[in-house]
Structure 1
Amino acid sequence: MRVLGVDPGLTRCGLGVVDGGGGRAVSCVAVDVVRTLPDAPLARRLLEVSDAVESWIGVHRPDVVAIERVFSQHNVRTVMGTAQASGVVAVAAARAGLPVAFHTPSEVKAAVTGAGRADKQQVTAMVARVLGLTEAPRPADAADALALAICHCWRAPMLDRMAQAEARAAELARRHKARLAAAAKGASS
Protein backbone atom coordinates (compact mmCIF):
# COMPACT_ATOMS: atom_id res chain seq x y z
CA MET A 1 0.00 0.00 0.00
CA ARG A 2 1.32 3.42 -0.89
CA VAL A 3 0.21 6.27 1.37
CA LEU A 4 0.54 10.00 0.87
CA GLY A 5 0.67 11.53 4.35
CA VAL A 6 -0.19 15.21 4.64
CA ASP A 7 0.47 17.47 7.62
CA PRO A 8 -1.79 20.33 6.53
CA GLY A 9 -0.80 23.94 6.98
CA LEU A 10 -0.85 27.20 5.09
CA THR A 11 2.70 28.37 5.74
CA ARG A 12 4.21 24.86 5.70
CA CYS A 13 2.34 21.78 4.46
CA GLY A 14 4.25 18.54 4.97
CA LEU A 15 4.01 15.83 2.30
CA GLY A 16 5.39 12.33 2.71
CA VAL A 17 4.92 9.15 0.71
CA VAL A 18 5.49 5.77 2.32
CA ASP A 19 5.19 2.25 0.94
CA GLY A 20 3.87 -0.30 3.41
CA GLY A 21 4.29 -4.01 2.97
CA GLY A 22 3.12 -6.84 5.13
CA GLY A 23 3.33 -6.33 8.86
CA ARG A 24 5.21 -3.24 9.97
CA ALA A 25 7.62 -2.98 7.03
CA VAL A 26 7.55 0.57 5.64
CA SER A 27 9.87 2.54 3.38
CA CYS A 28 10.15 6.21 2.49
CA VAL A 29 9.44 7.11 -1.13
CA ALA A 30 9.51 10.91 -0.93
CA VAL A 31 9.19 13.78 1.54
CA ASP A 32 8.97 17.55 1.19
CA VAL A 33 7.31 20.65 2.54
CA VAL A 34 5.18 23.02 0.48
CA ARG A 35 5.72 26.60 1.63
CA THR A 36 3.44 29.54 0.91
CA LEU A 37 4.07 33.19 1.62
CA PRO A 38 2.20 34.43 4.70
CA ASP A 39 1.40 37.76 3.05
CA ALA A 40 -0.05 36.18 -0.13
CA PRO A 41 -3.84 36.15 -0.55
CA LEU A 42 -5.51 33.18 1.14
CA ALA A 43 -7.00 31.84 -2.09
CA ARG A 44 -3.55 31.87 -3.74
CA ARG A 45 -1.99 30.01 -0.81
CA LEU A 46 -4.70 27.35 -0.87
CA LEU A 47 -4.26 26.97 -4.63
CA GLU A 48 -0.52 26.43 -4.17
CA VAL A 49 -1.16 23.70 -1.58
CA SER A 50 -3.77 22.07 -3.82
CA ASP A 51 -1.51 22.21 -6.89
CA ALA A 52 1.36 20.62 -4.96
CA VAL A 53 -0.83 17.80 -3.63
CA GLU A 54 -2.28 17.13 -7.08
CA SER A 55 1.25 17.00 -8.49
CA TRP A 56 2.37 14.56 -5.78
CA ILE A 57 -0.67 12.37 -6.42
CA GLY A 58 0.18 12.33 -10.13
CA VAL A 59 3.86 11.58 -9.61
CA HIS A 60 3.71 9.11 -6.70
CA ARG A 61 0.34 7.40 -7.37
CA PRO A 62 -0.69 6.71 -3.76
CA ASP A 63 -3.49 4.28 -2.90
CA VAL A 64 -4.79 6.51 -0.12
CA VAL A 65 -4.22 9.97 1.34
CA ALA A 66 -3.82 10.24 5.12
CA ILE A 67 -4.42 13.71 6.56
CA GLU A 68 -3.92 14.94 10.09
CA ARG A 69 -7.32 15.64 11.62
CA VAL A 70 -7.59 19.27 12.63
CA PHE A 71 -7.85 19.70 16.37
CA SER A 72 -8.70 22.68 18.50
CA GLN A 73 -5.82 25.01 19.09
CA HIS A 74 -5.67 28.18 21.13
CA ASN A 75 -5.03 30.29 18.04
CA VAL A 76 -8.28 30.31 16.02
CA ARG A 77 -6.52 31.85 13.02
CA THR A 78 -4.04 28.96 12.92
CA VAL A 79 -6.72 26.29 13.22
CA MET A 80 -8.76 27.93 10.45
CA GLY A 81 -5.79 27.94 8.08
CA THR A 82 -5.00 24.34 8.93
CA ALA A 83 -8.62 23.32 8.36
CA GLN A 84 -8.72 25.13 5.02
CA ALA A 85 -5.50 23.47 3.87
CA SER A 86 -6.86 20.11 5.03
CA GLY A 87 -10.00 20.71 2.98
CA VAL A 88 -8.17 21.44 -0.25
CA VAL A 89 -6.02 18.34 0.26
CA ALA A 90 -9.15 16.19 0.73
CA VAL A 91 -10.70 17.70 -2.42
CA ALA A 92 -7.54 17.01 -4.43
CA ALA A 93 -7.59 13.39 -3.26
CA ALA A 94 -11.30 13.04 -4.05
CA ARG A 95 -10.75 14.47 -7.55
CA ALA A 96 -8.15 11.77 -8.10
CA GLY A 97 -10.59 9.12 -6.88
CA LEU A 98 -8.52 8.32 -3.80
CA PRO A 99 -9.86 7.45 -0.38
CA VAL A 100 -9.01 9.88 2.41
CA ALA A 101 -8.27 8.86 5.99
CA PHE A 102 -8.04 11.31 8.86
CA HIS A 103 -5.88 10.55 11.90
CA THR A 104 -5.63 12.59 15.08
CA PRO A 105 -2.23 13.80 16.27
CA SER A 106 -2.44 11.49 19.30
CA GLU A 107 -3.24 8.46 17.08
CA VAL A 108 -0.22 9.23 14.94
CA LYS A 109 2.08 9.76 17.92
CA ALA A 110 0.87 6.55 19.59
CA ALA A 111 1.32 4.53 16.40
CA VAL A 112 4.83 5.79 15.70
CA THR A 113 6.28 6.25 19.19
CA GLY A 114 4.01 4.20 21.42
CA ALA A 115 2.99 7.32 23.35
CA GLY A 116 0.07 9.56 22.36
CA ARG A 117 1.69 12.56 24.03
CA ALA A 118 5.13 12.27 22.43
CA ASP A 119 6.82 15.52 21.51
CA LYS A 120 7.94 16.55 18.02
CA GLN A 121 11.55 15.43 18.61
CA GLN A 122 10.41 11.94 19.63
CA VAL A 123 8.17 11.62 16.58
CA THR A 124 10.94 12.82 14.26
CA ALA A 125 13.48 10.42 15.80
CA MET A 126 11.13 7.45 15.52
CA VAL A 127 10.18 8.29 11.93
CA ALA A 128 13.88 8.31 11.00
CA ARG A 129 14.44 5.02 12.85
CA VAL A 130 11.37 3.23 11.46
CA LEU A 131 12.14 4.30 7.89
CA GLY A 132 15.88 3.67 8.23
CA LEU A 133 16.74 7.25 7.26
CA THR A 134 20.34 8.39 7.74
CA GLU A 135 19.15 11.77 8.95
CA ALA A 136 15.91 13.02 10.44
CA PRO A 137 13.48 14.75 8.08
CA ARG A 138 13.33 18.52 8.58
CA PRO A 139 11.34 20.58 9.33
CA ALA A 140 8.95 18.84 11.73
CA ASP A 141 6.13 19.17 9.16
CA ALA A 142 8.01 16.75 6.88
CA ALA A 143 8.49 14.24 9.70
CA ASP A 144 4.82 14.61 10.68
CA ALA A 145 3.70 13.85 7.11
CA LEU A 146 5.79 10.66 7.10
CA ALA A 147 4.44 9.77 10.55
CA LEU A 148 0.89 10.10 9.22
CA ALA A 149 1.68 7.78 6.32
CA ILE A 150 3.33 5.24 8.65
CA CYS A 151 0.38 5.43 11.03
CA HIS A 152 -2.04 4.71 8.22
CA CYS A 153 0.04 1.79 6.91
CA TRP A 154 0.00 0.21 10.35
CA ARG A 155 -3.61 1.02 11.32
CA ALA A 156 -5.43 0.44 8.00
CA PRO A 157 -5.36 -3.38 8.08
CA MET A 158 -6.80 -3.40 11.61
CA LEU A 159 -9.44 -0.83 10.69
CA ASP A 160 -10.38 -2.90 7.62
CA ARG A 161 -10.73 -6.06 9.74
CA MET A 162 -12.91 -4.17 12.20
CA ALA A 163 -15.14 -2.84 9.40
CA GLN A 164 -15.47 -6.35 7.94
CA ALA A 165 -16.37 -7.75 11.37
CA GLU A 166 -18.97 -5.01 11.87
CA ALA A 167 -20.47 -5.74 8.43
CA ARG A 168 -20.64 -9.47 9.22
CA ALA A 169 -22.26 -8.75 12.59
CA ALA A 170 -24.84 -6.46 10.94
CA GLU A 171 -25.65 -9.15 8.36
CA LEU A 172 -26.03 -11.80 11.07
CA ALA A 173 -28.30 -9.48 13.05
CA ARG A 174 -30.39 -8.82 9.94
CA ARG A 175 -30.74 -12.57 9.26
CA HIS A 176 -31.62 -13.25 12.90
CA LYS A 177 -34.34 -10.58 12.86
CA ALA A 178 -35.73 -12.06 9.64
CA ARG A 179 -35.85 -15.56 11.21
CA LEU A 180 -37.56 -14.17 14.32
CA ALA A 181 -40.09 -12.33 12.18
CA ALA A 182 -40.77 -15.48 10.12
CA ALA A 183 -41.14 -17.56 13.29
CA ALA A 184 -43.51 -15.02 14.83
CA LYS A 185 -45.55 -14.94 11.62
CA GLY A 186 -45.66 -18.76 11.52
CA ALA A 187 -46.75 -18.94 15.18
CA SER A 188 -49.60 -16.47 14.60
CA SER A 189 -50.97 -18.41 11.58
Structure 2
Amino acid sequence: MPRDYLWMYPTLLMAVVFLVLSVCLHYWVPPGRRLFSAAGVCLTVMAAGALVVDYAVQLTVLQAGLRTGETEDLSVLSQYNPHGMFIGLENVGYATLNLAFVFLGIALATRGSKLARATAWVFVAGGALTLLLLVVFAGIYGTGLDYRFEVMSLLVTWLVLITVGVLLSVTFARAGLTHDAHLTREKVSHGDTAD
Protein backbone atom coordinates (compact mmCIF):
# COMPACT_ATOMS: atom_id res chain seq x y z
CA MET A 1 0.00 0.00 0.00
CA PRO A 2 2.71 2.66 0.73
CA ARG A 3 3.87 2.35 -2.89
CA ASP A 4 0.45 3.63 -3.98
CA TYR A 5 1.30 6.93 -2.31
CA LEU A 6 4.92 7.42 -3.43
CA TRP A 7 3.98 9.43 -6.51
CA MET A 8 2.40 12.06 -4.28
CA TYR A 9 5.74 13.21 -2.84
CA PRO A 10 7.18 14.52 -6.14
CA THR A 11 3.78 15.96 -7.00
CA LEU A 12 3.73 17.89 -3.72
CA LEU A 13 7.23 19.15 -4.49
CA MET A 14 6.12 20.13 -8.00
CA ALA A 15 3.28 22.27 -6.64
CA VAL A 16 5.60 24.17 -4.31
CA VAL A 17 8.44 24.56 -6.84
CA PHE A 18 6.06 25.76 -9.53
CA LEU A 19 4.66 28.34 -7.12
CA VAL A 20 8.18 29.70 -6.61
CA LEU A 21 8.79 29.66 -10.38
CA SER A 22 5.57 31.55 -11.07
CA VAL A 23 6.64 34.29 -8.64
CA CYS A 24 10.05 34.48 -10.37
CA LEU A 25 8.34 34.73 -13.76
CA HIS A 26 6.14 37.53 -12.44
CA TYR A 27 9.23 39.65 -11.76
CA TRP A 28 10.90 38.59 -15.02
CA VAL A 29 8.15 39.70 -17.39
CA PRO A 30 8.00 43.31 -18.58
CA PRO A 31 6.10 45.63 -16.18
CA GLY A 32 3.28 46.09 -18.70
CA ARG A 33 2.54 42.35 -18.60
CA ARG A 34 2.60 41.92 -14.84
CA LEU A 35 -1.18 42.04 -14.52
CA PHE A 36 -1.30 38.71 -16.39
CA SER A 37 1.58 37.23 -14.43
CA ALA A 38 0.02 38.39 -11.13
CA ALA A 39 -3.19 36.59 -12.11
CA GLY A 40 -1.06 33.54 -12.91
CA VAL A 41 0.62 33.71 -9.50
CA CYS A 42 -2.73 34.04 -7.70
CA LEU A 43 -4.15 31.06 -9.58
CA THR A 44 -0.99 29.08 -8.84
CA VAL A 45 -1.38 29.82 -5.12
CA MET A 46 -4.97 28.50 -5.22
CA ALA A 47 -3.96 25.42 -7.24
CA ALA A 48 -0.97 24.64 -5.03
CA GLY A 49 -3.14 25.05 -1.94
CA ALA A 50 -5.75 22.60 -3.24
CA LEU A 51 -3.13 20.06 -4.31
CA VAL A 52 -1.05 20.30 -1.14
CA VAL A 53 -4.14 19.81 1.05
CA ASP A 54 -5.31 16.95 -1.18
CA TYR A 55 -2.02 15.05 -1.10
CA ALA A 56 -1.33 15.86 2.57
CA VAL A 57 -4.69 14.31 3.53
CA GLN A 58 -3.82 11.20 1.54
CA LEU A 59 -0.37 10.89 3.09
CA THR A 60 -1.13 11.81 6.69
CA VAL A 61 -4.78 10.84 7.22
CA LEU A 62 -5.82 8.17 4.76
CA GLN A 63 -2.58 6.21 4.62
CA ALA A 64 -2.29 6.19 8.43
CA GLY A 65 -5.94 5.19 8.83
CA LEU A 66 -5.57 2.29 6.41
CA ARG A 67 -2.41 1.04 8.14
CA THR A 68 -4.00 1.08 11.57
CA GLY A 69 -7.35 -0.33 10.44
CA GLU A 70 -9.25 2.88 11.21
CA THR A 71 -11.16 2.83 7.93
CA GLU A 72 -14.57 4.13 9.01
CA ASP A 73 -15.64 7.08 6.83
CA LEU A 74 -12.36 7.07 4.87
CA SER A 75 -13.84 6.03 1.53
CA VAL A 76 -14.89 9.59 0.66
CA LEU A 77 -11.24 10.67 1.06
CA SER A 78 -9.65 7.79 -0.86
CA GLN A 79 -7.84 8.18 -4.14
CA TYR A 80 -9.63 5.00 -5.21
CA ASN A 81 -13.10 6.54 -4.94
CA PRO A 82 -13.89 8.05 -8.38
CA HIS A 83 -16.50 10.34 -6.78
CA GLY A 84 -14.52 11.19 -3.65
CA MET A 85 -12.86 14.28 -2.32
CA PHE A 86 -9.42 13.31 -3.65
CA ILE A 87 -10.47 13.33 -7.31
CA GLY A 88 -12.57 16.46 -6.78
CA LEU A 89 -9.66 18.40 -5.26
CA GLU A 90 -7.28 17.16 -7.94
CA ASN A 91 -9.68 18.25 -10.67
CA VAL A 92 -9.99 21.71 -9.09
CA GLY A 93 -6.24 21.94 -8.48
CA TYR A 94 -5.18 20.95 -11.98
CA ALA A 95 -7.87 23.01 -13.72
CA THR A 96 -6.77 26.07 -11.71
CA LEU A 97 -3.08 25.35 -12.33
CA ASN A 98 -3.69 25.11 -16.07
CA LEU A 99 -5.61 28.39 -16.02
CA ALA A 100 -2.50 29.83 -14.35
CA PHE A 101 -0.45 28.42 -17.25
CA VAL A 102 -2.59 30.41 -19.68
CA PHE A 103 -2.08 33.68 -17.80
CA LEU A 104 1.66 33.10 -17.37
CA GLY A 105 1.95 32.26 -21.06
CA ILE A 106 0.17 35.48 -22.03
CA ALA A 107 2.53 37.41 -19.74
CA LEU A 108 5.58 35.79 -21.35
CA ALA A 109 4.38 36.25 -24.94
CA THR A 110 6.18 39.57 -25.36
CA ARG A 111 9.60 38.50 -24.08
CA GLY A 112 12.19 39.00 -26.79
CA SER A 113 13.84 35.62 -27.22
CA LYS A 114 12.46 32.78 -29.30
CA LEU A 115 12.78 30.42 -26.34
CA ALA A 116 10.72 32.71 -24.11
CA ARG A 117 8.03 32.93 -26.80
CA ALA A 118 8.14 29.13 -27.20
CA THR A 119 7.69 28.84 -23.43
CA ALA A 120 4.70 31.16 -23.64
CA TRP A 121 3.20 29.05 -26.41
CA VAL A 122 3.66 25.81 -24.43
CA PHE A 123 2.03 27.38 -21.36
CA VAL A 124 -0.98 28.70 -23.29
CA ALA A 125 -1.44 25.58 -25.45
CA GLY A 126 -1.11 23.15 -22.53
CA GLY A 127 -3.35 25.19 -20.27
CA ALA A 128 -6.00 25.69 -22.94
CA LEU A 129 -5.93 22.00 -23.91
CA THR A 130 -6.46 20.91 -20.30
CA LEU A 131 -9.34 23.34 -19.79
CA LEU A 132 -10.89 22.22 -23.08
CA LEU A 133 -10.62 18.60 -21.95
CA LEU A 134 -12.46 19.48 -18.75
CA VAL A 135 -15.31 21.10 -20.68
CA VAL A 136 -15.53 18.25 -23.21
CA PHE A 137 -15.32 15.47 -20.61
CA ALA A 138 -17.86 17.21 -18.34
CA GLY A 139 -20.18 17.59 -21.32
CA ILE A 140 -19.85 13.95 -22.33
CA TYR A 141 -19.72 12.24 -18.94
CA GLY A 142 -21.44 14.73 -16.61
CA THR A 143 -21.36 13.40 -13.05
CA GLY A 144 -19.61 10.27 -14.35
CA LEU A 145 -16.40 12.22 -14.95
CA ASP A 146 -14.62 9.84 -12.55
CA TYR A 147 -10.85 9.61 -13.26
CA ARG A 148 -11.01 10.74 -16.88
CA PHE A 149 -10.13 14.39 -16.44
CA GLU A 150 -7.75 13.70 -13.56
CA VAL A 151 -5.60 11.35 -15.64
CA MET A 152 -5.54 13.60 -18.70
CA SER A 153 -4.85 16.74 -16.66
CA LEU A 154 -1.94 15.03 -14.90
CA LEU A 155 -0.50 13.96 -18.25
CA VAL A 156 -0.78 17.37 -19.91
CA THR A 157 0.38 19.25 -16.79
CA TRP A 158 3.53 17.18 -16.39
CA LEU A 159 4.33 17.43 -20.12
CA VAL A 160 3.95 21.22 -19.92
CA LEU A 161 6.09 21.46 -16.77
CA ILE A 162 8.87 19.29 -18.19
CA THR A 163 8.93 21.19 -21.50
CA VAL A 164 8.74 24.61 -19.84
CA GLY A 165 11.42 23.59 -17.34
CA VAL A 166 13.84 22.76 -20.15
CA LEU A 167 13.00 25.89 -22.16
CA LEU A 168 13.31 28.21 -19.17
CA SER A 169 16.56 26.58 -18.02
CA VAL A 170 18.13 27.27 -21.41
CA THR A 171 16.62 30.77 -21.53
CA PHE A 172 17.94 31.71 -18.10
CA ALA A 173 21.33 30.11 -18.78
CA ARG A 174 21.69 32.13 -21.99
CA ALA A 175 20.52 35.29 -20.23
CA GLY A 176 23.10 34.68 -17.50
CA LEU A 177 25.88 34.20 -20.05
CA THR A 178 24.81 37.37 -21.84
CA HIS A 179 24.71 39.28 -18.55
CA ASP A 180 28.16 37.94 -17.54
CA ALA A 181 29.60 38.89 -20.94
CA HIS A 182 28.11 42.39 -20.61
CA LEU A 183 29.63 42.81 -17.13
CA THR A 184 33.03 41.63 -18.41
CA ARG A 185 32.93 44.11 -21.32
CA GLU A 186 31.93 46.87 -18.90
CA LYS A 187 34.85 46.06 -16.57
CA VAL A 188 37.32 45.97 -19.45
CA SER A 189 36.07 49.29 -20.85
CA HIS A 190 36.57 50.87 -17.42
CA GLY A 191 40.03 49.33 -17.03
CA ASP A 192 38.90 47.19 -14.07
CA THR A 193 40.00 43.63 -14.87
CA ALA A 194 40.54 42.45 -11.28
CA ASP A 195 37.67 40.48 -9.69
Greater helix share, structure number: 2
Give the TM-score of the pair, scaled to structure 1: 0.36
Give the TM-score of the pair, scaled to structure 2: 0.35
Greater strand share, structure number: 1
Q: Which has the higher contact order (CA 8 A, sep 6+)?
A: 1
